[in-house]
């Protein structure tokens, strides 16, 4: 079995020993209770074997080594041998500070072993009990509260007078300090000498001179008065000489902190931006853990952190024993037996060695096993009852000591059976200043330390955030800003850190679960639950009226022995859980509230002569707003940007100082930096959220505040951390996004302006704190709300450029590739936006100068600006291999080239208009950019929509160029044949990039374009054929091409349901083409064949006329409906039919049909006379004559409406088709 206590070197104090060398030993006292103990810390050396004293040794004579240091004792010295001063009132706090991990979580009770024993002996003892109880999480801290010592101090200092009066009035009207008897001091002295004899080992009494003996005994007998009194720390008006804060003296008239709360606030923490606030300065003022051993003792299901000074020796059958001295004439009573048993259980000591004496003369030794102690004669007791007492007392205290930070007083008067629990904090607040309670400060520090420790744990689960928040809020309730600004600032900063701003928003119920059944979280405003009648434990109804100040009462100590008499009724309500924030704004506002409180604490502790005048929080700070007329435009921006980047570059060189007089390195300086950075992040998140909601004015206001915070941070901070610079890039990037959105939504400018100028009181107060350190104007160029579109776009671009420059000069590009890519994408995008803006302006200028042939200088400047922006944007996208966006910008550059080409065309009224070389140059440049865009994409799969768009633009450019060359042929510079060849090539290329097969929204447009191209080509070849003489081979080629393109044009126009006029025009041109061919024919048979071909084309126009009739009918119905409607609305006909065009085409159609029918009748008649008629030709002749006569009658009737004329034509075409079928080939 491993040695249970005091083995090995002392563990470093101040933290738990993770793997204690001491094993945990299970004791079954009388087979009824379970107990195990693990030594967490020991300052004792390996225990020495005790020396058995010879019989008749006189313990009244002091040994030579009495009260002297010894190598066997180690640093603990006299403490081990029981000569330590009495337990200090803050002993549990000293332990709690050292084992902060256990507090609030694993351990139920932290206390001196003497206090634990006193509580467990309550039902057996008549002596008084007075203890202070504090709750930290699920842990109770128990300390002796020596009322009489307190009142002696009170009579000298005037403190605690309220408690003295309360005590005298309600509890003990005549109290006086009981003096310890002479017998008490005699017994204490011989025990001390006995223990020193036991380690001396020679067994011989070595008397010392009587004067020396008296001198040595003095401290033992006098310890109660001086030492006890000195153990109480003074209340918190500390003289300046006691301050240990090196920075305090430099801060002017700042109230000095107590010496045990000095230390430094976190500067740049790695995990949660937190470090421990306090150093070991708190070990003064009675908060030191001065126990020889700190033991984690588990008694049944109760976990306790216990301090013990019991001397432990080696020897016997076990490696550890406790040594006791007893007067042989006095039997061991129950109280002594419980005392011995509990001491051995707590320290895991298996055996007790008892030395009996008579009047100081040693008689004999006796060995007793720990498990046998409860069965000793005259002191037998039930270990099970002790277990029940422990469980009942713990349940009673946990049920009633519910308010964290409050000091509870557990009191039992001497000889009384009633135990009462008072809430001293509430009583104190009713009468005097809460700082008259000396426990206030240690409790606040402990609450802070436990919260800080929980925050610093690496894999901290968010379910503990509710606990941490409650600890910190309760800590803040106990503190006064004038006295403890450092802790208040730090606690508020930690509260703000609980709200994670940089994480994606999750469901609230998963983010912060309401842990309703765990002691890990609890409400700082917990109310007492209704008491159970069957327990009858907490009812005050039968008590005298004087007891109404008590929180709870145990009416009889006998009740504590009843198993489960007191059950903890303290239930945790959901109100204690981490607050559920119903949105980003609410979360950020909570953070800013805590930040503001922290800033107030810091600012209040920094005083300086000639400080800034106190600002009135009700007066808003004006947000600077300039009209674009005074802002200087983009040129002014360039200067501001240069100044900003120059300042950013100087961070590595220069030192920055605070205007308010904060000393770099002081806690105020470090804490303000952290608070400012936190507020900057909160405003950034608010701005981002407003951006998502499209509240762009609000978003700009928040990002302005974020950048003002950042500006102040930069003023204070000598060197910038990489993560802070990355955050600055994010802020500038977001600012650029907001300015761009404001530019794109100019129609809501009034609403955005109103949002921008609104300010909350909280924002104003944070700004006042910032203005103590800095003017906050470094980023003014980026956050002003301009009314000029160009200025807004320029600001947006400058924001992105600034972000990019920061990444470059800080060498952060490689560490933050994602950020780098995002900034470059945005730079490319904004340059595209600015390029388009200048391009549209150029187009507008071009429209205005319609009558002027010359291109203006303004236009040329706009082209250059636009082209420059597109070029830079393309470089941005190409640098990050963004082929799609690069293609889009190349496409826009192509469009710019087309605008330049259009600008060079002559005025429309000029009859000598020709397609100029400048137009050709710019159109060819446009084509080059479109082809580059296609090469950038590579293939359609990369981005089908962009690919199709570029193809369409390219097709359009070729088509436009060909059309202009065809319509305004540059005959002064080129031969007709050359022009025709170029037109033909351009048209064919346009067809190549015009995708008529892919099903898309653009397909009908492509089909219309292709049909138009074929129509134009057919017309061109038709025209060539008319004007050309000579080369028969070429004429034949042109005839074939004209016929081919006419056929293709007809086929494509027939696919479209909304181009009947175009279809009709093409068919009529085909008829004209047939007539031209017929004119050059000599034989009747050839002419007749061509005529029948032309009539066949006429018959095929039936589909076009049906579409025209359909649209005319729909239009007349619409007009009819509007006439019958009560409130006729303006005509909104869905038809796009051009009636003038239809009438014109109808006239041509009638004349050509009349001509063809007449010619066919003449030819058929002459053929019949010569040859003698065939049946087919007779039928055709008859049909044509009938149709011709009907056509003449219809043409003669001028009163027919358009729709009726269309109906007549359709009827004629129908008859013509029927006659053809009847004649079986009359019309071929």
Residue-wise DSSP of 278-306: --GGGGTTT-----SEEEEEEETTEEEEE
Most confident of 4-13, 827-836, 1132-1141: 827-836
Alpha carbons 501 and 588: distance in angstroms, whole number: 7
State yes or no: pLDDT of 254 exceeds 90. Answer: no
Strands 293-299 and 33-42: antiparallel
CA dihedral sign, ordered 1053, 1059, 1062, 1067: positive
pTM equals 0.72
965/970 Cα distance (integer angstroms)? 7
User: Each residue of 274-283: pLDDT tens digit?
Assistant: 444 444 334 3
HSE at residue 808, side-chain half, CA atoms within 13 A, is 9
Non-local (6+) Cβ contacts of 554 within 8 A are 396, 418, 419, 420, 537, 560, 566
**Confidence bin at 106 (pLDDT 50/70/90):** confident
DSSP conformational letter for 244: -
Assess whether pLDDT exceeds 50 at residue 293. yes
More confident residue, 510 or 1030: 1030
The SS3 assignment for 58 reads strand
User: Residues 771-781: what's their mean pLDDT?
Assistant: 85
C-alpha–C-alpha distance, residues 114 and 143, integer Å:
10
Average pLDDT of the residues in 842-864 = 83
Residue 503 pLDDT > 60, yes or no? no
First to last CA, the chain: 121
Question: Is the model's pLDDT at 797 over the cut of 50?
Answer: yes
Report the mean per-residue pLDDT for the chain. Answer: 76
For 171-204, the pLDDT digits (tens) are 655 555 567 788 888 888 888 888 888 886 544 4
Residue pLDDT, tens place only, 560-592:
877 777 776 544 433 455 566 667 888 899 999
Residues 6+ apart with CB under 8 A from 1169: none
Gap between the Cα atoms of 153 and 236, Å rounded: 15
User: Pick the residue with more confidence: 957 or 145?
Assistant: 957
Check residue 317 and give its pLDDT.
65
Q: What is the pLDDT of residue 297?
A: 92
Return the minimum-mean-pLDDT range out of 129-143, 254-268, 800-814, 1138-1152: 254-268
**Tell me: the pLDDT tens digits for 820-832?**
899 999 999 999 9
Higher pLDDT residue, 191 or 252? 191
Q: Any residues with CB less than 8 A from the CB of 1008 and at least 6 apart, and which?
A: 1052, 1056, 1059
Biggest CA–CA distance in the chain, Å, is 176
Q: Which residues contact 397 (CB under 8 A, 6 or more apart)?
A: 133, 140, 408, 410, 421
Pick the more confident residue, 431 or 346.
346
Q: How confident is the model at residue 608 (pLDDT cuts 50, 70, 90)?
A: very low
Do the beta carbons of residue 59 and residue 362 sit within 8 Å? yes
The pLDDT of residue 1057: 80
Sheet of 419-423, strand order:
25-29, 33-42, 293-299, 302-308, 109-112, 139-144, 129-136, 408-412, 419-423, 550-554
710-719, 729-738, 1217-1226 — most confident range? 729-738
Residue 231: in which H helix or E strand, if any?
none
Q: Which residue has the higher pLDDT, 547 or 573?
A: 547
With beta carbons less than 8 A apart as the criterion, state whether 137 and 105 touch: yes
The tens digit of pLDDT for each residue in 918-939 reads 888 999 999 999 999 999 988 8
**Nearest alpha-carbon partner for 666 in 283, 281, 258, 252:** 252
Average pLDDT over every residue of 990-996:
87
Please name the residue that has the structure tokens 């206390």: 111
- 624, pLDDT greater than 90: no
The bridge status of strand 25-29 relative to strand 139-144 is: unpaired
The DSSP bridge partners found for residue 425 are: none
pLDDT tens-digit profile of 1047-1090?
888 888 888 888 888 888 888 888 888 888 887 777 788 888 88
Share of the chain above pLDDT 90, in %: 18
97 three-class SS: helix
CA–chain centroid gap for 835, Å, is 35
User: Residue 721 class from Cβ within 10 Å (0-12 exposed, 13-18 middle, 19+ buried)?
Assistant: exposed
Q: What is the Cα–Cα distance from 1220 to 1181, expressed in whole angstroms?
A: 10
Angle between helix 1202-1222 and helix 1084-1099 axes, rounded to 10 deg = 130
Token output for 947: 């690919």
pLDDT value at 273 more than 80 = no
Would the pLDDT of 315 be above 70? no
**1134-to-298, 1117, 1122, 1124 alpha-carbon distances in Å:** 89, 12, 14, 19
Lowest average pLDDT, out of 65-74, 89-98, 122-131, 498-507, goes to: 498-507
Residue-level pLDDT at 492:
92
| Nearest residue to 424 via CA among 406, 412, 438 | 406
Residue 1007 has pLDDT above 70, yes or no: yes
DSSP 681-726: HHHHHHHHHHHHTT-HHHHHHHHHHHHHHHHHHHHH-SS--HHHHH
How would residue 894 be classed by pLDDT, with cut points 50, 70 and 90?
very high
Q: How far apart are CA 680 and CA 269, in angstroms?
A: 17
Q: In the predicted model, what is the mean pLDDT of residues 877-881?
A: 91
């Amino acid at each position: 079995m491993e040695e249970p206590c005091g083995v090995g070197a002392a563990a470093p104090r101040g933290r738990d020993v993770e793997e204690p060398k001491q094993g945990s030993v299970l004791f079954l006292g009388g087979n009824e209770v379970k107990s195990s103990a693990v030594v967490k810390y020991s300052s004792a050396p390996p225990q020495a074997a005790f020396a058995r004293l010879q019989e008749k040794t006189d313990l009244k004579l002091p040994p030579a080594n009495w009260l002297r240091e010894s190598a066997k004792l180690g640093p603990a010295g006299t403490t081990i041998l029981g000569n330590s001063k009495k337990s200090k009132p803050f002993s549990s706090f000293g332990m709690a500070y050292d084992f902060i991990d256990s507090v609030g979580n694993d351990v139920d009770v932290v206390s001196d072993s003497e206090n634990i024993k006193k509580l467990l002996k309550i039902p057996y003892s008549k002596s008084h009990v007075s203890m202070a109880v504090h709750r930290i999480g699920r842990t109770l801290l128990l300390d002796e509260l020596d009322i009489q010592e307190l009142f002696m101090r009170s009579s000298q200092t005037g403190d605690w007078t309220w408690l003295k009066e309360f005590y005298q009035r309600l509890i003990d009207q005549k109290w006086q300090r009981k003096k310890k008897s002479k017998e008490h001091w005699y017994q204490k002295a011989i025990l001390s000498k006995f223990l020193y004899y036991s380690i001396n080992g020679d067994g011989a009494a070595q008397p010392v001179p009587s004067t020396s003996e008296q001198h040595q005994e003095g401290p033992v007998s006098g310890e109660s008065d001086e030492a006890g009194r000195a153990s109480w720390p003074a209340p918190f008006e500390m003289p300046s000489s006691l301050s240990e804060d090196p920075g305090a003296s430099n801060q002017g008239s700042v109230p000095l902190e107590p010496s045990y709360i000095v230390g430094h606030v976190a500067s740049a923490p790695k995990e949660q931006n937190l470090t421990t606030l306090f150093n070991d300065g708190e070990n003064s003022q009675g908060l030191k853990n001065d126990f020889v051993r700190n033991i984690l003792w588990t008694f049944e299901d109760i976990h306790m952190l216990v301090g013990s000074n019991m001397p432990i020796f080696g020897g016997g059958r076990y490696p550890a024993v406790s040594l006791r001295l007893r007067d042989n004439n006095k039997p061991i009573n129950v109280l002594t037996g419980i005392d011995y048993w509990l001491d051995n259980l707590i320290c895991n000591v298996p055996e007790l060695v008892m030395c009996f004496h008579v009047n100081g003369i040693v008689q004999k030794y006796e060995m007793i096993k720990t498990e046998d102690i409860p069965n000793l004669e005259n002191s037998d007791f039930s270990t099970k009852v002790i277990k029940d007492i422990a469980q009942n007392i713990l349940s009673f205290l946990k049920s009633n000591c519910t308010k964290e930070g409050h000091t509870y007083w557990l009191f039992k008067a001497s000889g009384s059976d009633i135990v009462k629990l008072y809430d001293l904090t509430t009583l104190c607040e009713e009468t005097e200043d809460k700082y008259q309670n000396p426990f206030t400060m240690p409790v606040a520090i402990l609450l802070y330390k436990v919260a800080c420790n929980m925050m610093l744990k690496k894999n901290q689960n968010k379910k503990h955030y509710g606990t941490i928040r409650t600890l910190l809020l309760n800590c803040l309730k106990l503190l006064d800003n004038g006295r403890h600004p450092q802790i208040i600032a730090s606690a508020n900063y930690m509260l703000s850190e609980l709200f994670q701003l940089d994480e994606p928003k999750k469901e609230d119920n998963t983010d912060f679960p309401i842990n309703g059944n765990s002691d890990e979280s609890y409400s700082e405003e917990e109310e007492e639950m209704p008491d159970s009648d069957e327990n009858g434990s907490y009812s005050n109804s039968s008590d005298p009226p004087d007891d109404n100040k008590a929180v709870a009462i145990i009416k009889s100590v006998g009740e504590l022995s009843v198993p489960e008499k007191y059950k903890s009724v303290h239930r945790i309500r959901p109100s204690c859980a981490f607050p559920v924030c119903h949105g980003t704004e609410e979360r950020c506002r909570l953070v800013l509230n805590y930040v503001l409180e922290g800033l107030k604490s810091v600012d209040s502790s920094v005083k300086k002569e000639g400080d800034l005048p106190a600002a009135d929080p009700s007066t808003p700070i004006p947000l600077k707003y300039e009209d674009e007329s005074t802002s200087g435009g983009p040129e002014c921006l360039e200067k501001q940007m240069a100044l900003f980047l120059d300042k950013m570059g100087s961070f590595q060189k220069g030192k920055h100082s605070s205007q308010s007089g904060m000393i770099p390195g002081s806690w105020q300086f470090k804490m303000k930096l952290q608070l400012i950075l936190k507020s900057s992040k909160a405003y950034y998140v608010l701005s981002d959220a407003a951006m998502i909601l499209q509240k762009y004015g609000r978003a700009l206001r928040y990002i302005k505040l974020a950048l003002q915070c950042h500006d102040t941070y930069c003023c204070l901070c000598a060197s910038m951390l990489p993560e802070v610079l990355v955050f600055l890039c994010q802020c500038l990037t977001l600012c650029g996004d907001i300015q761009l959105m404001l530019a794109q939504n100019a129609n809501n400018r009034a609403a955005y302006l109103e949002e921008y100028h609104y300010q909350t009181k909280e924002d104003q107060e944070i700004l006042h704190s910032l203005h103590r350190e800095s003017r906050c104007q470094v980023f003014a160029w980026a956050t002003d709300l301009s009314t000029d579109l160009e200025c807004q776009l320029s600001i947006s671009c400058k924001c992105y450029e600034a972000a990019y420059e920061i990444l470059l000069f800080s060498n952060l590009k490689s560490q933050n590739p994602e950020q780098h890519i995002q900034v470059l994408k945005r730079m490319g995008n904004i340059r595209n936006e600015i390029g388009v803006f200048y391009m549209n302006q150029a187009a507008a200028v071009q429209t205005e100068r319609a009558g002027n042939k010359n291109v203006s200088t303004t236009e040329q400047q706009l082209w250059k600006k636009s082209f420059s922006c597109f070029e830079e944007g393309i470089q941005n996208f190409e640098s990050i291999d963004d082929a799609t966006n690069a293609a889009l910008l190349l496409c826009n550059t192509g469009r710019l080239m087309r605008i330049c080409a259009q600008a060079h065309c002559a005025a429309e009224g000029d009859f000598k208009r020709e397609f100029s070389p400048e137009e050709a140059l710019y159109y060819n440049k446009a084509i080059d950019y479109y082809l580059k865009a296609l090469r950038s994409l590579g293939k359609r799969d990369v981005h089908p929509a962009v690919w199709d768009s570029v193809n369409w633009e390219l097709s359009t450019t070729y088509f436009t160029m060909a059309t202009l060359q065809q319509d305004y042929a540059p005959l002064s510079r080129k031969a007709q044949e050359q022009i025709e060849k170029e037109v033909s090539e351009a048209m064919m290329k346009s067809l190549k990039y015009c995708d008529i097969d892919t099903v898309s929204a653009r397909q009908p447009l492509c089909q219309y374009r292709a049909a138009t191209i074929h129509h134009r080509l057919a017309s061109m070849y038709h025209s060539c054929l008319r004007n050309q003489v000579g080369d028969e081979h070429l004429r034949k080629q042109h005839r074939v091409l004209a016929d081919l393109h006419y056929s293709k044009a007809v086929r494509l126009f027939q696919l479209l349901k909304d181009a009947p006029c175009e279809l009709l025009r093409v068919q009529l041109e085909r008829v004209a083409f047939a007539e031209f061919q017929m004119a050059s024919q000599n034989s009747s048979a050839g002419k007749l064949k061509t005529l029948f071909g032309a009539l066949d084309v006429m018959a095929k126009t039936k589909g076009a006329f049906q579409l025209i009739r359909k649209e005319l009918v729909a239009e007349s119905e619409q007009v009819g409906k509007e006439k019958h409607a009560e409130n006729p609305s303006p005509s909104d006909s869905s038809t796009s039919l051009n009636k003038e065009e239809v009438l014109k085409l109808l006239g041509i159609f009638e004349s050509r049909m009349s001509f063809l029918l007449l010619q066919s009748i003449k030819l058929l008649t002459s053929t019949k006379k010569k040859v003698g008629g065939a049946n087919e030709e007779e039928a055709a002749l008859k049909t044509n004559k009938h149709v011709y006569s009907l056509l003449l009658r219809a043409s003669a009737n001028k009163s027919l409406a358009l729709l009726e004329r269309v109906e007549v034509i359709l009827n004629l075409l129908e008859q013509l088709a029927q006659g053809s079928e009847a004649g079986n080939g009359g019309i071929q």
